[in-house]
Amino acid sequence: MLRALLVASALFIAAPLAAVKLKLKTEEKEQETTVVRLSGDEVIIRRGRKDLTVRLDDFEPASAFLVRKQFTEDKAVPMLELARFAVHRALWKEARETAAAAVKLDAGLKGQADALAAVADILEGDELCEQAAALLSEGKAAEAKPLLEDVLRRLRATPAAVRAEVLLSTLQQVEEANRARALEDEARKAQESADADERKKRAPVDDWLTGLLQDVKANEDRKLEADKECDDGKLSAGLPKYDNVVKAAERTRKALADNRHLLTFRGQPEQADALDKRCLRLMVDACERWAHHLFRAQRYDAASEVCAKGIALDPKDRRLLALKVDIDEMWDPTKKDGG
């Protein structure tokens, strides 16, 4: 008889009658609700004087979590199960916080809690990248950018960080195209306004050049990140960044060349020339480090290709010329095995 009572109490739990705001999936907004009982997946709630019986999954995920939390003992194992419940409903923050609470109650569960938090990080990163990709497909680059930056800031250790880097590169292309279109519009308006002063007329082009300068600085920082990652042996993270740096600098040089006719005010051609030289130097430096790390990894065919690209940009760069000699000593492209 005692055993039967214990089993019944595990399946049928009564909660303190405290009202909370909950939302069913069929409702438009939260409502004051008193959760009377939770039995398995069946929930009895009270709204006003009326009792209703619903399923736990009839609630929106956040509300379902609140219901389940009310009936979770303040013990380590139940708290860890609650964290798993949150993961299954894409409640990443709640999952991490609940797993951490379980560890505070029992440090022996740290391994399981860390694994659960890692799963939450991976899934959240994938979710944010999917949202950003959908926004980019709709042309909403400004809304997508914070999501991708959030992945790189909080979830850099997850696979989603690599995809976020790629999507940010795509986003930069969209932003550059938008800036170029805006530049043309502003330049046309400035030319149509014959009585405007020089500062007002030149402002759109000056702002555009300033934006390009900021992009170049960001690419220089990205190149330094790639240097450190490759020096630390993280080639899978560092090598793709060299490719992004070279392509971004190449796009900047092309934008400068294509819009050369708009640089009509004092100092603008010189500023553009300085930016072009800075991009060229960045490309050469990135190719040299890129080829160097490929050579050290014994990827001689790829190293040869990147080295040739750098020499084409600066045929007198001694570092690249010396590296080419080393590559040629180790790799014969006429042999099928690459040896």
Please check whether residues 90 and 48 belong to one and the same domain.
Answer: no
272 within domain boundaries:
yes
**Nearest in space to 230 (alpha carbons), one of 326, 154, 316, 294:** 294
Please check whether residues 146 and 108 belong to one and the same domain.
Answer: yes
Please check whether residues 66 and 50 belong to one and the same domain.
Answer: yes
201 within domain boundaries:
no
Q: What is the CATH number of the domain that holds 261?
A: 1.25.40
Please check whether residues 60 and 109 belong to one and the same domain.
Answer: no
The domain of 41 spans: 1-71
Give pLDDT, residue 201.
Answer: 82
Count: domains in the chain? 3
Please check whether residues 53 and 77 belong to one and the same domain.
Answer: no
Structure tokens at 185: 């519009």
Last residue of a domain, one of 71, 106, 130: 71
Strand, helix or coil for residue 60: coil
302 within domain boundaries:
yes
197 within domain boundaries:
no
pLDDT of 294-326, one tens digit each?
999 999 999 999 999 999 999 999 999 999 999
pLDDT of 42-73, one tens digit each?
888 898 888 889 998 899 998 988 889 988 88
Give pLDDT, residue 49.
Answer: 84
In the beta sheet, which residues pair with residue 42? 39, 55
Distance CA 287, CA 27 (A): 57
332 within domain boundaries:
yes
Please check whether residues 110 and 27 belong to one and the same domain.
Answer: no
- State which residues of the chain have pLDDT below 70: 1-18, 190-196, 335-339
Q: Decide if 81 contacts 88 (C-beta within 8 A).
A: no
Last residue of a domain, one of 157, 192, 227: 192
